[in-house]
Amino acid sequence: MSNDIEARKERATAWFAELRDRICAAFEAIEDDYRGAFEHLPVGRFERKNWARPAEHATDGGGGTMSLMHGRVFEKVGVNISTVYGTFSPQFAKEIPGAGGDGKYWASGISLVAHMRSPRVPAAHFNTRHIVTEKAWFGGGGDLTPTLDVQRTREHAHAQRFHESFRKACDAHDPAYYARFSKWCDEYFFLPHRGEPRGVGGIFYDYLEKDWEKDFAFTQDVGRAFLEGYTAIIRQGMQNPWTEAEREEQLLRRGRYVEFNLLYDRGTKFGLATGGNVEAILMSLPPVVHWR
């Protein structure tokens, strides 16, 4: 059984790296194809930086790779992968399924956040992960965050395209998935102190552990769906001009993004609680942001 677990870990880790490469290639192709007001800027290319997790004791370790790009279309986009293992603190172990025994864990995943130069192209977040304690499960999802109020509706073409990509991926595996995971996303990406959603949703799922092969296949399709849907949205709007008023609206809306990620986001809390790379964890923060 232990050999099966190790083989599954390797397959999941390999997929996250493969998906990272696909996403980076697609985003760099978008940079190549851009024609507009920012052609004077260098064409964006991802820069990769490896990091190793500092070991608190002999059984802790792992690390990952940050892939960061600043370009004409992408003001800032990060696509990170990591694989870490160790022992949860007794307090944090209480929050993690299956960690109540010896507290040991293994976790691998991919995390992406894109902040676009154009206010007319929504920001986006995506991540999928595989975590092993005494249990083993998949989780993840993606959500779309328009920075203009006129786009912050499910009826907008961007939101419809994004949701339709995820709906198709969900329906291919379980007809109940989309309604369940879309609702979960709306509930998760909500700012209680503001009384408002972060964006127009997507899907969010966690603790998927009934059938490893099926859950892994679904997680792969979620990654493919995000890539297909979001690149289409970027290409649809990246050439359109915008106003200074729209740029200011974008910078203010980014403040909500910062507030959510620092106050509520599970991934941020998990990374910091397990001694992750702070630079990689806070990659999600936008390059420029305003509060009024």
Distances (CA, A) of 13 to 9, 49, 87, 211: 6, 18, 19, 18
Dihedral sign of CA atoms 228, 12, 143, 242 in order: negative
Look at the block and give the residue holding tokens 């552990």.
209
User: From CA 198, how far away is CA 47, in angstroms rounded?
Assistant: 28
Both structure tokens of 42: 């260098």
Of 125, 130, 158, 163, which is the active-site residue?
A: 125
- Name residues whose C-beta falls within 8 Å of residue 231's C-beta, 6 or more positions apart in sequence: 26, 27, 30
Mind giving me the DSSP string for the chain?
Answer: -HHHHHHHHHHHHHHHHHHHHHHHHHHHHHHHH--STTTTSPPP--EEEEEEPPPSSTT-EEEEEEEEE--SSEEEEEEEEEEEEEE--HHHHTTSTT-SSS-EEEEEEEEEEEEESSTTS-EEEEEEEEEESSSEEEEEEEEEE-SSGGG-STTSHHHHHHHHHHHHHHHTT-TTHHHHHHHHHHHHSEETTTTEESSS-EEEEEEE-S-HHHHHHHHHHHHHHHHHHHHHHHHHHTT----HHHHHHHHHHHHHHHHHHHHT-HHHHHHHHTT--HHHHGGGS-SS----
Instruction: Give yes or no: 290 in active site.
Output: no
Hey, which residues are catalytic here?
125
